[in-house]
Chains A and B, each alone.
Chain A
């Protein structure tokens, strides 16, 4: 497989193919590069990061190409940030579980949010690793092609640990 383009989002901003696009936080990047998708504000941080990355990486793809695309995301913590948030609503003396929070306690929701935004009907997969291992991630991506034929794979490592500590390191790969 070959890499078409790369994108990294950290608290320092967004970098596309090695060029700094913007020095802004998550909301700042949304306002600058998306702006018309109010659902964004309901999402957890994992989904926001994935959605921003997809927005910047998929802008040159046609609807036909996107329909046959795949989204494969990796991280260490799954949806733990959203899990902790939801857990805080379950105290005996302050019990108010809500579906709007609970739905984000599934790691793969980020792949679904990206698929919905871009009308991607191909494979969406989420894998959790004990530590980032680019070789193991590439093995999984390569083996994906053994039983499917996507027009591209939007992939990456997305981890949110706090407003000063997050990364979406994403790329678009295509078959050679």
Chain B
């Protein structure tokens, strides 16, 4: 295990900002977003501001690249995103040493509206249909840990690769929006009716967004480090043990995650911490406390919810991929929506794209259930 390296082989993002990781990065660096106010969507009595995929566009790409088949929109997104990353990575998904991992908070929950007993609402069934689409012979792993699922899925994959059970892991995160999900966040009074403003003094809540992301991880040796690939370095999951729907006032779980990771990755290697930054009053304040306690006040921080909204089970994967792609170009994305300090502790935030020559980052997430997770990657060799 000591010599085993885990590196990123390929990736994909399907979002309202684009259908490849490259398209998405270009849109993010250009400051674009598809967050807008939706009136009457899903027959909701209240308007909401969100980032919603064009179903016809996704369906057209799916038909062209993946053919037909009886799949839900959620499953088509997972398959399309995985297919694009698999093709880019030259992976043979039918091999026994390839594992599929799915991150989703709610899968096909929208199907409940028509039939409370709809079998498609079992998320592992969706994961099986995705893996079987590619002819994969293994039982997929499904991580469902609310908002932190996307990092948990990467961690589950890393552990299986470290255990030597598989050589390649196709990690896909996805959630779609529905009456079910929007109404729930509205009932919490957590949603902003305008594009969200992470960490800003005038932030008024979060936006929800749709996306699918896939990151393919593979085990390798020292040669791959020299080849300048993104390597997994550290990960951690901790609970706040405080409240199921509110973050800890001391940032306890998030702080412990950061502390674990900093034991293995020196802060001097970090270009940035890509935070959760939902733009709710409590989340952003909690993260400022956790980052302060971890001694990361001066390390650049970026939050990506201003481009995508909170993409739930996709967030950890999409935001990891954007962080990698941006640092490869020598830049840290701007925190769209941020203007003025709005947390107790000042963070090193910017509403502009910043240059960096560092090639390491931590992706952190926090969520319902008091859960917190983080993962760190460093790019080997020369940029």
Chain A positions within 8 Å of B, measured between CB atoms, are 71, 76-78, 80, 83-84, 86-88, 90, 92, 95, 97-99, 102-103, 105-109, 111-113, 115-116, 118-130, 133, 136, 139-140, 142-144, 146-148
Contacts and interface: CB of A to CB of B under 8 A. Distances in A.
B71 interface: no
Interface stretch (B84-92, B118-126, B215-223, B332-340): B118-126
20 contacts: A87-B112, A99-B188, A103-B244, A103-B245, A105-B180, A106-B368, A108-B371, A111-B239, A113-B244, A121-B238, A123-B236, A128-B124, A128-B144, A130-B124, A139-B160, A140-B159, A143-B163, A143-B165, A146-B159, A147-B159
Given A99-B187, A103-B368, A109 B124 contact: no
A121 B252 contact: yes
Contacts of B109: 83, 87, 105
Contacts of B242: 116
Contacts of A105: 106, 109, 180, 184
Nearest to A135: B139
B113 A90 contact: yes
A122 B239 contact: yes
B124 A140 contact: no
A97 B368 contact: no
Contact of A95 (B45, B127, B152): B45
A129 B139 contact: yes
Interface hub of B158, B159, B236 (most chain A Cβ within 10 A): B159
Contacts of A139: 160, 163, 165
B139 A133 contact: yes
Contact of B368 (A83, A112, A121, A136): A112
A78 B313 CA distance: 14
B145 A147 contact: no
Contacts of B369: 106, 108-109, 111-112, 124
Interface in B148-195: 152, 155-156, 158-160, 162-163, 165, 179-180, 183-188
Contact of A80 (B122, B146, B152): B122
B107 to A, nearest CB: 8
Contacts of B45: 95
B241 A120 contact: yes
Contacts of A124: 145, 237, 239, 369-371
Given A87-B112, A97-B186, A130-B122, A123 B128 contact: no
B136 interface: no
Given A87-B116, A125-B145, A126-B145, 4 more contacts: A78-B144, A83-B121, A116-B242, A116-B370
A139 to B, nearest CB: 7
B183 A90 contact: yes
A73 B109 CA distance: 20
Contact of A129 (B43, B124, B243): B124
Contacts of B234: 147
B162 A99 contact: no
B241 A146 contact: no
Contacts of A118: 241
B144 A143 contact: no
